[in-house]
Structure 1
Amino acid sequence: MPLRQLIRLSVAELAVPSPSVLAEAERVENSIAEHHRLAARVSAFGAIEQRQAEGASKRGGFRAAAWNAERLKFHAASVAMLTEVDADVIFLTEADLGMARSGNRHTTAELAEALGMGYAYGVEFLELGLGDAREEAECAGRTNAVGFHGNALLSRMKLADPFLVRLDDGAIWFLGAEKGQRRLGWRMAIGGRIETSGGPVLVVSVHLESKTDPADRAAQVKRLLGHLETLSAGMPVVIGGDFNTKPLFCEDTGWFDDPSALEPLFSLMGEAGFEWRTANRPEITTRTRPDGDPKPPHKRLDWLFVRGLAAAHPATVAAVDAEGKAISDHDLVVADFGR
C-alpha cells in the first residue's frame, strides 16, 4: 500500500498506542515491512491533535519563532524565554508527549496553555525505548506513559485547516536500531492557516532528518514543496524549523548568501520563491548542554523561510535559563513578518 503522505484529520486528543505494539516491536525483525505494519496500528500517526486559541485575527504583521526544544524538558524556563520573545506563531520541534525523560507530560499542551496559545501537534515518532543512550541511563527503571515525540505549531490566532506532511518513507530509526534509540515513525511537517488583517497566511513547522545527507534533505524539501503548491492556494507562506543543515559551520559564514552548494535544499526553496536572507542572521543555532554535548564546531540548523511577505528584525535567541544553563541544544530563531 502506498504511503499516505498528507494527513488532514484533526482530533481533540491523540489515542495512546496499544501496549501490544510495543511488546511486538521487541520481537520483530528490523525491516521496512515490519515497521510499516506496526506503525499502521498506531492511529495517532494518522491524526493531528488540535486545540484552538481564543484570539481573533492578528492586526498588522506578526512575529514567528522556530525552536527545536530538544524534548521540551524545562517547562518554566521555556515559558520564560518564549514570553520574552513574544512570538505570535511558534514552529516547535522535538516536543514530547508522555515520555519519562520529560516527566511524562504533554509538553506542547502545557506550554501552549502557559503562553495563552492554541496548538496543532503531530507525532513524528513513537519511541520504543526511553530515548538516546544518555536518556536511557538517566531514566533507567522508569516507563513512558505514552511514548510520543513530535512537532507542533503554536498560535495566538485561530489555526484553520491543519495538515501534516510525511517528509520521508520512514523506518530509518527502526532499521538502524542496533545503533540505539529504536523508533516507529517518519519525519514530518505540520501546518495550517492563520488569519491576519492583511489576509490568510500559511504557516508550517518542519523537522528534516538528522541521520542523512544533503541530497536526502533536498528530497524531503521537494516533497514538502509539492504539497505546499496545493495547500497554499496563492497565500503567503512562512516556514520554520530544524532543517538539520549540518555542513553550515560556525567558523565561516560565507555560505549564508548562497548555501546551495553545501545544502541543495536552498536552491529548491529559492526556485519556489522563498527567501531566507531577510528572515535569518548568519549565526550558529546549536549550543553545548551542561553535560558537554554536542561538542563544537556548532552549526546553523534552524531557519525561517518566507514567500509573499516581507521579513524584518531577524534574531537568534539563546535557549538558556535564568542562570545561563542550556535548556536545549538549539537556540531559537525569530523574525517579524508583514505586507
Structure 2
Amino acid sequence: MHRDALDLTAAGAKATPHFPPIVVNRAARRPGSRLRVVLLNAAGGARFRELLACLQRKPLEGADVILLCEVNSGLRRSPGRDIAEELGEALGMSCAYVREFGFSRQGKENETYMGNAILSSAPFADVAAIAMHNPRPPRVLPRRDRGVTRVGRPTGLITRVKFGPAEISVGVAHLHSRCTPAERARQMADYMESFPTAGRVIFGGDLNTTTTELSDRASMVATVWQMITNPNRFRAPQAYEPLFDHLREHGLEIDGVNVANRPTFTFSGLIPRSMRPKLDWLAVRGLWPIAGTAAVVTPRSPILKRRISDHDFVTVDLEL
C-alpha cells in the first residue's frame, strides 16, 4: 500500500523532503561477530504488541538492524502512538524515523503520519532524509483513501552506524505500488543519487516489485491474467523491474541475502503461494551473508495465529 500526494516539484528540480527525520540515539549494544538484519512493511503497525512479540522471538530476536516501511505515528487509538520510536524504546535500540505523508480528513490538521524507520543496536552518526520521484496517484483510489487529504512525498532514509570498529551505511526506502516499473526505477535512481559510492552498505525496503502497473481497473485485470499465465515473474521480478539495475550500478548485491523465488506478500490467503509476489528486498555491499540464515518469516502471533501485516519479515545474518 502506498498513498501519494501530487508531485509539485518543478521539472528538473531536485526534490526535497517534506518532513525532517526524527532521531533518538541510545547507547550501543556490544557487537558480536555477525549482524542480524530484519526488514518489514509494518502495514501501519497498529498491532504494536504483536509486532514487538515477533521481533523478540527466533529467528528475529536480537536484530542489530531493523528496517521498517509504512510505520505510522500520531495514532490516537493505537497501543503504540509513535510505532517506530516505541519499538526502539522497547528493544533498547536507536531509532531514526521520517514521515513521508501526513493524513487528515475534512480539512483538519494532519492527524496521522506514515513513514519509514531504521532501528539500530548502535547509535547513528548522521541521518539524511532522501526525497524521491512522486508518481501520479492511481486513477482508481481505494475507498479508504477517498476524502482524505495528504501532504508529503516518498522519502527514504540513509544513515551511518558504527558496529564496534565497523562503519556501515544503512538505508531504507518504500517504492510506489501502483506505478509502472519505469517510474519505480526513477524513484530508485533518485534515492541512489545520495547513496555512498564506496564502503559497506545495508539497504532494504518494500520495493513493490509487482512487475506491472496497477493504476486502473484495466491494468489490474491485465495483472491478474499475468498471475494466471506467468506466475513465476512475480516471485522472480528482476528481469521486469529496472530498479535492480540501479542497485547493481552501485555495487549492491541481492543474492544470498534474500530467499530466491520466495514471495513476501499475501494480499489474500486464498491466493496460492505460487502466485504471490516478492516485494520486499535486502541488498548489501562489502558484507557477506552467513549461509542458511536468509529467511522469510510470517508476521503472526503464536496465540491468535493472525497476521500483523500483509507483508512477511525478511531477515539475514551478515558476517561482521
The aligned counterpart of 1:164 is 129
Q: CA 1:173/1:117 → structure 2, altered by over 3 Å: closer, same or farther?
A: farther
Kindly indicate whether the alpha-carbon contact (under 8 Å) linking 2:199 and 2:286 is maintained by their aligned counterparts in 1: yes
Matched, 1:116 2:92: yes
Kindly indicate whether the alpha-carbon contact (under 8 Å) linking 2:172 and 2:205 is maintained by their aligned counterparts in 1: yes
Counterpart pick for 1:298 among 276, 294, 306: 276
Kindly indicate whether the alpha-carbon contact (under 8 Å) linking 2:48 and 2:80 is maintained by their aligned counterparts in 1: no
Counterpart pick for 2:175 among 194, 202, 208: 208
Question: After superposition, what is the alpha-carbon deviation per residue over 1:260-317, rounded to whole angstroms, capped at 9, x for unaligned?
Answer: 3211111221232111111000211112469x89x99421110001111112311001
Q: CA 1:296/1:315 → structure 2, altered by over 3 Å: closer, same or farther?
A: closer
Q: CA 1:221/1:267 → structure 2, altered by over 3 Å: closer, same or farther?
A: same
Kindly indicate whether the alpha-carbon contact (under 8 Å) linking 2:37 and 2:65 is maintained by their aligned counterparts in 1: yes
| Greater percentage in helix | 1
What displacement does 1:189 show? 1.0
Amino acid at match of 2:316: A
Amino acid at match of 1:190: L
The aligned counterpart of 1:285 is 264
What displacement does 1:177 show? 9.5
SS of structure 1 residue aligned to 2:289: strand
What are structure 1's unaligned runs of at least 5 residues? 1-29, 37-42, 131-142
Relative to the length of structure 2, the TM-score reads: 0.78
Kindly indicate whether the alpha-carbon contact (under 8 Å) linking 2:37 and 2:66 is maintained by their aligned counterparts in 1: yes
The aligned counterpart of 1:97 is 73
Counterpart pick for 1:331 among 299, 312, 315: 312
What displacement does 1:176 show? 6.7
What displacement does 1:211 show? 2.2
What are structure 2's unaligned runs of at least 5 residues? 11-15, 213-226
Counterpart pick for 2:52 among 73, 79, 82: 79
Amino acid at match of 2:301: D
Distance 2:231 2:6 in 1: 41
Amino acid at match of 2:257: A
Per mean C-alpha deviation after superposition, the further-off stretch among 191-200 and 165-174 is 165-174
Kindly indicate whether the alpha-carbon contact (under 8 Å) linking 2:299 and 2:312 is maintained by their aligned counterparts in 1: yes
Question: After superposition, what is the alpha-carbon deviation per residue over 1:231-287, rounded to whole angstroms, capped at 9, x for unaligned?
Answer: x26221110110000139697557767x43211111221232111111000211112
Distance 1:59 1:103 in 2: 32
Kindly indicate whether the alpha-carbon contact (under 8 Å) linking 1:99 and 1:144 is maintained by their aligned counterparts in 2: no
What displacement does 1:201 show? 0.3
Distance 2:120 2:138 in 1: 30
Question: After superposition, what is the alpha-carbon deviation per residue over 1:37-90, rounded to whole angstroms, capped at 9, x for unaligned?
Answer: xxxxxx993411110121156242211111000000111111110112121111
Kindly indicate whether the alpha-carbon contact (under 8 Å) linking 2:73 and 2:83 is maintained by their aligned counterparts in 1: yes
Amino acid at match of 2:71: A
Correspondences of 1:121-160 after superposition (within 5 Å): 121-129=97-105, 146-160=111-125
Q: CA 1:176/1:329 → structure 2, altered by over 3 Å: closer, same or farther?
A: closer
Question: After superposition, what is the alpha-carbon deviation per residue over 1:169-197, rounded to whole angstroms, capped at 9, x for unaligned?
Answer: 47748997997354211112112111123
SS of structure 2 residue aligned to 1:266: helix
Per mean C-alpha deviation after superposition, the further-off stretch among 208-217 and 296-305 is 296-305
The aligned counterpart of 2:219 is none
Kindly indicate whether the alpha-carbon contact (under 8 Å) linking 1:253 and 1:283 is maintained by their aligned counterparts in 2: no
Distance 1:222 1:126 in 2: 24
Counterpart pick for 2:210 among 236, 246, 249: 246
SS of structure 2 residue aligned to 1:216: helix
Matched, 1:317 2:297: yes
Identity of aligned residues (%): 28
Relative to the length of structure 1, the TM-score reads: 0.74
